[in-house]
Amino acid sequence: MHSWLFLVPFLAALIGWMINSLIIRLLFHPVKPVKIFGFTFSGIISGKRESIAKGLGKYVSEELFSFQVIEEKMTNPANIEKIMPLVEEQIDHFLKIKLGEQMPMISMFIGDKTIQQLKNIFMEELSTLFPNLINQYAKNLQSDLQLEQIITQKIMAIDLLQAEKQIHQQFKKELRLFKLAGAFTGFIISILQLLITLLLN
């Protein structure tokens, strides 16, 4: 048996490393479509960039950032109750000080008892009004904000080469393991093939 056959597992390991390295590179490259023999080639991510951006925009706007959930939290009676002391303080300040400054004549005929009654009426009305106001505000915000479109545009504006650099920095260990997995797989498969060849001979 030729001794050079024992080099085959190492060559297979090198090929496995190179294939997995190529797969990683093909995620982003070529960044711009390239035509070869009439066929157009582009990186896996760069080629599907628009559909990825739209998909992520839709997912984030509907699942991760749900206006419905935010609206429910904002209109929750317990949360509204938390802001009522501040509202009451502002109304109290308005009735006792601001009203007197702006309309001195009226303040002369309003005593503490009347102020307290007015404050109670305002607080009761506001506790009913707040959920409706918040609901309408959330609906208007959702309509005006167009979160899905904003996220899609932000993703489309990302510099792919910069994104590739960041991914290589953040997942350096994982990418190296992926390359090693290719080398290991090629090495093992080649060893098995070599053993089968030896057994058959």
Is a pLDDT exceeding 90 seen at residue 101? Answer: no
The pLDDT of residue 8 is 81
Provide the residue ranges of all domains of the chain, joining segments of one domain with +.
3-200
Contacts of residue 11, defined as CB under 8 A and 6 or more positions apart, other chains included, come to 190
Q: Is the pTM of this model over 0.85?
A: no
pLDDT by residue (tens digit) across 112-134? 788 788 888 888 888 888 888 88
